Structures are given as structure tokens and as C-alpha cells.
Structure 1
Amino acid sequence: MSEHNSAESRNSKPSNSHLLLAVSVVVALVIVAIFVLSNRDNEQENAKFKQDVVVPEKTPAEVVNTARPELATEVEEPTAPEPIVEPEPVTEPEPLPQREPEQPVAAPLPSLDNSDVALSEQISNYLNDTAMDLVVTDDMIRRSVVFVDNLAQGKVAKNHFPVSKPQDNFMVIEDDIIITDPNSYERYTPYVNMLNAMSTAQLVRTYDKFKPLIREAYEEIGYDGGEFDLTLQEAIGELLETPIPETSLPLLQESVTYKYAYAEWEQLSDAQKLFLRMGPENMKKMKKRLQDLKVALAK
């Protein structure tokens, strides 16, 4: 019974289900074969592609330093600080001795007997030729010392005038009263101009320069040479104390001379009455210069 069944199966036709299964298997195999073949071809093409395509080698890009030169400094490795060496004490050099500025060496003074040339040259630096013609250049220092000494006592040493006498004579106007002719005052104007031509500083400078010889001459007439400064101050003071008249003063004639009619004027010293003959305007100018000179000599 079993054999019969087997023979029947071999000789019978396959059923539709069996055919469908077989076709499915075949289709699956075909798909598998196509997929395998497809992958193989791709692998060959890819291998060929890899052979034909040259991949450039990557070169390292140069790094460009765009930082400013002064800022792009290398960072140095920290180093150990150097040991601090204490400086050796510096010995200060001894200061050089300061030299005193050299003072101009004044020319030595001549002797008193030979001093006229030096004193004349000194004065001529300040006076013009017209004024120098009024100066007596004979024994100048001795002459001046004697004249000043007498002036300090209110006297006039007529033989020791340091300047020449006026060339014009004293003149008067005779009317109801006798008065001094104003033109007579002009006789003394050149002397006033001569004194004013020299500044107070120049007068003092000349006096100081020749003071040793002046003191020597003062000692010759019997005084202490150091006292002449006081004598000169007294002589200047004698003239400064002379009053300046506001009007013409009446005169009285005695023989060939004249005297003041009013006692307050006649009792003045001879030095002061000589000063009056210069006239009010000249007296004012002379007093101004004498006052300045007295102050300068007192310093």
C-alpha cells in the first residue's frame, strides 16, 4: 500500500504551489547573483578609480606671523635672577681749592712831588679842553689841600686857588644904592659847569684814588693825614650853610673894595662871601652838587 502511493507521486504532475515555490527560489537566486556580480564590478571600478586618481600630497601650510614686529617677541624661558652685587663705595675726590677772581692791579701812585701829570690825566678823562684850561696844574694836590683846609675855617687861601681866577673884574651898578652887577655872576658860570661836568661818582673815584697822596700833603702842613676826610666835609658844610639872597644886596664902598651894607651878610665868613659873588643861580647849582658829594663821601 505504501509502495503504491510512492509510484503515484512520481508519475503525477506538480501542483501549482510547488511551481510557485520553485519560481520564487529561482528569482531569489537570480537576485542574489545580480547583487554579487554588481558588487564585484563596483569593486573593480573603484579599484581602477583609485589607481587613476592621483591624490595630491598635503604640504604643511606655512604659518604667517601677522603680529607687529615689535609685539611678536619670543617668550623666553624664565631664568634665575642674577645675584645682586653691592657696588663698592666711591670715594669722592677732594674739592679743588677755589681760586679767588683776580682783581685788577692798580698802577702804583707816583710820589707827591711827581703827581701832577697823573692827576691831570685822570681829570682830563672827564673834562673838555675848555674846562681843563681853568685847572691850575702846578702842585695840584698840595694846592687843593691847603685851599680846602682854609675853606673849612671860613677863609680863602688866595695864593692856593686850585683853579685860575676869573679874567673879568668884579662889577657893580651905582645908583641910589650900589648893587652887584648881574653880569659879574657870569664870571663864575664856567667853574660851575666844570664841576657839573664831572659826576659825583667820578669826583669820589678821583678822590679815593689819590687819597694816600692827599693825606701825605695834609701831614706836611702839620695835621694827622687821616683827619682830612673830616676837614673836607667841614669845608663843604661851610659853603652849604651860605644863605642864597632873593634880591640884589646893597653894597658899601671902602677904598677900592666893597662890603655888604647889611650886617647879617657882612658877618658871613670870607669863604661864604666869596660864594655869594657867584650869584643866586650858580649858588643853587653848586649847592646841589656839593650836597650830593657830601653824602657820597660819608658812605
Structure 2
Amino acid sequence: MSENHPEGNKRPSNSQLMFAAIIVLALIIVAVFVIANSDSQPKENEKVKQDIVVPEQTQAPAVNTAQQEATAPEPQPEPVEPVAVETREPVMPEPVDMVVEPEAPTLPPLSQSDSEIKSAVAEYLSNQAVELLANDDVIRRTVVFVDNLAQGKIADKHSPVVKPEENFTAIEDDIIITHPNSYERYTPYVAMLDTMSTAQIVRLYEQYKPLFEQAYEEIGYEGSAFNGTLTEAIDELLATPIPESPIPLVKDSVTYKYAYAEWERLSAAQKQFLRMGPENMKKMKTRLEEIKRELNN
């Protein structure tokens, strides 16, 4: 059974409600982008709005205008006058601060340097080799010993290494010659140098060079001259000839001398060098030549 209602009281269908909802949603979206005064729009009759099936009364130009306005560039904030923040140059450190120089190692006082010297050497040498170093004033002893060595002398009391435990021996026959075992006494000292590379030896010397120069000044020289004195001492040893055969000796009371004058005329430092024996001398000369080149570079 159907009931007749006046046209004006007819309820909108579901499709009409859906369409109206879409229109409202579209207007909400437009309103997000458009600044408009809703009070200036004429108020629609709600009943009439419900009865409209086709949105003929929708003002297309207004919608199009809104769309155009929506696609138009958004209002930009007024330009801000350039301030110091924009034109300020970045604060950079002074050039002297930008170059970081490696800090020189802090050296101990000369009188307290023994433990550090031995610790530094121990990084490269065995404990047995470290024990060959003197127990006190290693740097002062080295400086005095090198200074005398450069003059062809031997400062026994200032040796930076302990003396060999075995005494010098000779084979006494028709011809007296040095016993081969006497050469072996110096093998541990040569091995100590062989354990370290030339670069390591020179680097260790350069690290503690200020202390060597200080000790050199204590004995009355210019500290900076020690490098030259060290080179002279090396040259003194390099000038020592290496014998190709055992050198005859003559006994003089409790000591021995070289039988040939050309060997006996050598300096005390060179004759001491001869006691190391030909093989040890060759190894030592090779290393001394390398050290000299590094020092002169």
C-alpha cells in the first residue's frame, strides 16, 4: 500500500544523500585551500537543496574560480630582510691552528733517562742484549766514548756497554796469533746491532738527540756539534783495514802487541776494533756505513 505525500515533503533518496555528501566533501576540500567568507554566500534553502537531483544551481564559475585559486601559488611570506645570520662569514680557526704539528715526545731529564733509554731499546732487543748496556749514565757514557773514539782513543771507564766477561786469549806457538774464541766475545754486541734495523737505530738516536747534545755540552762542546763527532768516530772505525789472515803478535810483559809495524801504528780505537775479528768487523762496517748515510741525509 502506497501513501501519497506532497512533493515538498518527499524525503531524499539514498543516491541523493550520497551526491549531497560528495558535494559537501568537495566544498570542505576547497575550503582548505581558499580563504573565503562564508557569510557573504547566500544561504540556501535546505529543503530545496534536498529536492535538487541535478546540481543545476551549483555555481560553476565559483567552483572553477576556487579551483584556479587552489592551483595558484600559495601566498609566500613576505621576504625577510637579509640579516647578519645570512651574510655572516663562517668563523674559521686561525691558519696556525689548522696545521697540527706532531708533538715532540717529552724527554726525561738527562740524569733520569737510563730507565727510559733501556725501555726504548728493549722494544727491539732481547733481555740478554739489554743486559749488555751499562747500568748508569748510558747517554753520558756514550757521548764521552764517542768523543774519544773520534780521536782514535778508547775511554774504557766510560764504555756504554759492559765489557766481555772472557779475557783476551792467544795461541802461543811458533807464531803467536789471536785465539778465535777471543773474536767470539764480541759476537753478542754485533748481534745486538743486527737485531735492530738501521732506520730503528737512527730513529732512536734522533728521538733522544737533545739529551745527547746536552751531555756533549757538559764536557765543554757545542751540543749541535755532536752529530759531526759521531760521524768522525764512525769514519775512524771504517778506516780500519780488515786482515785477510791472522795477524802475528808479540808478547810484551803481560800484554800483546802486533808484530807488524803497520798494524801497531793504528790508533787505539782501530786496534780495539781488530780484536773483534774479520767476520764481526765486516758486519760492523756494513752497518756503520748505513748509519753514516742516514745521519748525513
Relative to the length of structure 1, the TM-score reads: 0.67
Deviations 1:185-207 (A, max 9, x none): 11100000001111111111111
Contact 1:120-1:137 at 8 Å conserved across structures: no
Deviation at 1:100, TM superposition (A): 3.2
1:170 to 147, 164, 168: 168
Runs of 4+ aligned structure 1 residues displaced above 4 Å come to 91-99
Deviation at 1:226, TM superposition (A): 1.1
Deviations 1:162-199 (A, max 9, x none): 11111111111111110011121111000000011111
2:276 to 275, 278, 282: 278
SS at match of 1:259: strand
CA distance in 1, matches of 2:240, 2:115: 34
Unaligned runs of 5+ in 1: 1-90
Contact 1:180-1:251 at 8 Å conserved across structures: yes
SS at match of 1:149: helix
Match of 1:294 in 2: 292
Deviations 1:90-116 (A, max 9, x none): x99679566635344333211111111
Match of 1:111 in 2: 109
CA distance in 1, matches of 2:91, 2:140: 52
Match of 1:25 in 2: none
Match of 1:267 in 2: 265
CA distance in 1, matches of 2:184, 2:288: 20
Match of 1:154 in 2: 152
CA distance in 2, matches of 1:110, 1:225: 17
Question: Pairwise mapping of residues 1-299 of structure 1 onto structure 2 (< 5 A)?
Answer: 96=92, 100=98, 102-299=100-297
Matched residues, percent identical? 61
SS at match of 2:106: coil
CA distance in 2, matches of 1:267, 1:130: 36
Contact 1:219-1:225 at 8 Å conserved across structures: yes
Unaligned runs of 5+ in 2: 1-86
Amino acid corresponding to residue 180 of structure 2 in structure 1? P
Match of 1:55 in 2: none
Deviations 1:252-282 (A, max 9, x none): 0000000000000000000000000000000
CA distance in 2, matches of 1:263, 1:96: 74
Relative to the length of structure 2, the TM-score reads: 0.67
Deviations 1:58-106 (A, max 9, x none): xxxxxxxxxxxxxxxxxxxxxxxxxxxxxxxxx9967956663534433
CA distance in 1, matches of 2:88, 2:235: 62
| Higher alpha-carbon Rg | 1
The alignment's C-alpha RMSD in Å is 1.9
CA distance in 2, matches of 1:157, 1:186: 22
CA distance in 2, matches of 1:95, 1:141: 48
Aligned residues: 210
CA distance in 2, matches of 1:107, 1:204: 16
